[in-house]
Structure 1
Amino acid sequence: MKKIVLLAILAAICSCKSNHTDYETIEKNNEFRENVLKNTAGKYAVLADGYTYFEQANQHSLSGTIILVHGWSVPSYIWKLTFESLKEKGYHVVMLDLYGRGNSDNPNLPQTDALRAKQVIQLANTLKISKAIFVGLSNGGRIISKIADLAPEKVQGLCYVGSSSFQEHATPTNTKVSAQEIKDFIAGYPSRSAGQLEDFYRPENFPDWPHKYEPLLQHKGFAKALLSTDKNLVSMDAIHQKIHQSGIPVYTFWGAHDNVVVYADFKQKLNALLPNRTEYFIPNAGHLPHLENQEVFEGYFLNSLATILN
């Protein structure tokens, strides 16, 4: 039944699309950024590899700093509910768009974990954040692991939500992205927005979710950034061993029905790498438990933050 409902939603969304000529036509230039600032609550920081869009709340709070890092393609708006909850609780909270995503620049650089981890570290330095709890969603889990590798002194704790950082990857042999690969990827854009619904256990509860994704497909360099990210994936076992040895508090959160990052595929390895982690499973949720079962997720999550900070 779930598959039938999802297919019906996907068909309805795809049938509404009639003009795809605006794919990858928007340059992220000064005019773009000025328009972003007029229509959002965020700001820009000029970092080593480009402009970085971020939103921040309770900058002078003494309750603790939480930095939210998004995943593979959906930018910081995916964290909006959690951002608002942390803001209401009085935490200093920051969320940002990683390079190649959302309102941040698309630098012509290999999309390595280190590129985006350094972006987050540089933003923290710009905002004069000496220590924070880093929260990584899906592919963002890889970024917070790399942050702990590059700047462990900044890390009070690590929270992984549906993280893909524990999956196996062969050593990359060809990380270049060809023009033909980009062309082929963009050819799949008509179904990519609707495909975002596959992250949910109950996609019928999020009918507007694909429409939020549509503007991203207009940004020049989006396809190349995503392709480059995939081509630069490496196994992170050594980093996770280092995190375990460091004693950094680690918390993992999983949607009980996550079919995007399948927990059973790496459960044994995760137990060996991070045996001291605290782990939670969120019922009635897929890959995005913080959205699909906000109440249960935030109950565990807020308690975890309090434990780390106290």
Structure 2
Amino acid sequence: MGAAARQSAPGDFAALSQGVTHYRWQGPENGSVVVLVHGLTTPSFVWQGVAEGLVQQGYRVLSYDLYGRGFSDRPGGAQDRAFFLRQLEDLLKDQGVADGFTLVGYSMGGAISAAFAAANPGRVRRLILLAPAGTEPLLGRMARLVRAVPVLGDWLMQVSFPRAHRKGTEAERDLPTSVPGIVDLQQAELRWRGFIPAVLSSLRHMLGQVQEDDHRAVAAAGLPVLAIWGAGDTVIPIRAKSALERWNPGAQHVVVAGAGHGVTYTHTGEVIAAMRAFLSES
């Protein structure tokens, strides 16, 4: 991922402490700021429909690619809590984002966003979580194996993940989407060196955490929280809602019928409606 590949990227680039980060601003410059954090395998293009909906409501929207994904650099090291929070903190400082913004996280981005809000409750005005990871370790049988056995796990990940990623994304090809060509875009990530190691490192670190303490800290701070779930999600099952309800009884919840883990782009209308109501109330 270098200068030639980045010529087609929308937005801009920031040289941060851990590497170059691709980011994009959308919406009126005087709008209230909303920061969007994507998940494990799908870069910031996952937000296309949501960002457009927020812009139509007058918000100033900042999205970016996590390291190892999209047009951002592929630095080494453990992709753990500190790694992702440092990238977000660096970007906010680089872009001069003032306190009082709304933070939105999807899947692993939900885990990152909850961790950031817990560590910085005075900086975030509202927290929106879409199918958030962090209520239990996101580790199926294969993920447990690649996490527990470093050398063999690395080899298994290189061999098995591309096929699993293509199969999982291909299953959504006929679903409605607010991101044109999203399946091809998702599968194209496999072309870039550093993508699979980044996913593996996130599985071994960030996605091995249970974030009860983070959510209880967010609740104690009185931060308004909305969680949006897909009723048919098999990646972050709907049972995760019960855990979040226990940890943060004041959080609001919306369950989108018929939606799977791709709720952000397959049911964008319902997501935008829920966000609109929450933002106007809070």
Match of 1:140 among 109, 112, 132: 109
- Residues 182 and 223 in structure 1, CA contact (< 8 A), matched pair in contact too: no
Please tell me whether residue 112 in structure 1 is matched to residue 77 in structure 2.
Answer: no
Q: What's 1:237 paired with?
A: 212
Partners of 2:137 and 2:194 in 1: CA distance: 27
Partners of 1:285 and 1:134 in 2: CA distance: 22
Q: What's 1:123 paired with?
A: 91
- CA drift at 1:205: 4.0
- Residues 68 and 136 in structure 1, CA contact (< 8 A), matched pair in contact too: yes
Q: Residue 154 and residue 163 in structure 1: after superposition, are their counterparts in 2 closer, same or farther (change >3 A)?
A: same
- Residues 28 and 55 in structure 2, CA contact (< 8 A), matched pair in contact too: no
Q: What's 1:253 paired with?
A: 228
What is the identity percentage for the equivalent residue pairs of Structure 1 and Structure 2?
24
Partners of 1:216 and 1:186 in 2: CA distance: 14
Match of 1:226 among 199, 212, 222: 199
Match of 1:284 among 253, 258, 262: 258
> Which whole-Å deviations, capped at 9, do the CAs of 1:13-38 have from their partners, x for residues lacking one?
xxxxxxxxxxxxxxx2xxx23441x3
> Which whole-Å deviations, capped at 9, do the CAs of 1:23-59 have from their partners, x for residues lacking one?
xxxxx2xxx23441x3122111111111000111236
Q: Give 5+ residue unaligned stretches, structure 2.
A: none
- CA drift at 1:169: 7.4
Partners of 1:288 and 1:230 in 2: CA distance: 19
Q: What's 2:36 paired with?
A: 68
Q: Residue 238 and residue 204 in structure 1: after superposition, are their counterparts in 2 closer, same or farther (change >3 A)?
A: closer
Partners of 2:164 and 2:148 in 1: CA distance: 25
Q: Residue 205 and residue 300 in structure 1: after superposition, are their counterparts in 2 closer, same or farther (change >3 A)?
A: closer
Partners of 2:119 and 2:83 in 1: CA distance: 11
Partners of 1:84 and 1:300 in 2: CA distance: 15
Q: Which amino acid is 2:50 matched to?
A: T
Q: What's 1:299 paired with?
A: 273
Q: Residue 175 and residue 191 in structure 1: after superposition, are their counterparts in 2 closer, same or farther (change >3 A)?
A: closer
Please tell me whether residue 184 in structure 1 is matched to residue 159 in structure 2.
Answer: no
- Residues 140 and 163 in structure 1, CA contact (< 8 A), matched pair in contact too: yes
The count of aligned residue pairs is 271
- In angstroms, what is the RMSD of aligned CA positions? 2.4
Partners of 1:303 and 1:204 in 2: CA distance: 26
- Residues 114 and 143 in structure 1, CA contact (< 8 A), matched pair in contact too: no
Taking structure 2 as the reference length, the TM-score comes to 0.87
- Residues 27 and 58 in structure 2, CA contact (< 8 A), matched pair in contact too: yes
- CA drift at 1:180: 4.2
Partners of 2:17 and 2:231 in 1: CA distance: 39
SS of the residue aligned with 2:122? Answer: helix
SS of the residue aligned with 2:127? Answer: strand
Taking structure 1 as the reference length, the TM-score comes to 0.80
- CA drift at 1:139: 1.0
Partners of 2:85 and 2:91 in 1: CA distance: 10
Q: Which amino acid is 1:215 matched to?
A: A
- CA drift at 1:282: 1.3
SS of the residue aligned with 1:228? Answer: helix
SS of the residue aligned with 1:279? Answer: strand
Q: Which amino acid is 1:139 matched to?
A: M
Q: Which has the larger radius of gyration?
A: 1
Partners of 1:295 and 1:49 in 2: CA distance: 36
Q: Residue 216 and residue 168 in structure 1: after superposition, are their counterparts in 2 closer, same or farther (change >3 A)?
A: closer
SS of the residue aligned with 2:3? Answer: helix
Alignment of 1:151-162 (within 5 A): 151-162=120-131
Q: Which amino acid is 2:113 matched to?
A: I
Question: Which sits farther off after the overlay, 182-191 or 84-93?
Answer: 182-191
- CA drift at 1:246: 0.4
Partners of 1:177 and 1:43 in 2: CA distance: 38
- Residues 197 and 209 in structure 1, CA contact (< 8 A), matched pair in contact too: no
Q: Residue 254 and residue 267 in structure 1: after superposition, are their counterparts in 2 closer, same or farther (change >3 A)?
A: closer
Q: Which amino acid is 2:225 matched to?
A: V
Q: Residue 286 and residue 254 in structure 1: after superposition, are their counterparts in 2 closer, same or farther (change >3 A)?
A: same
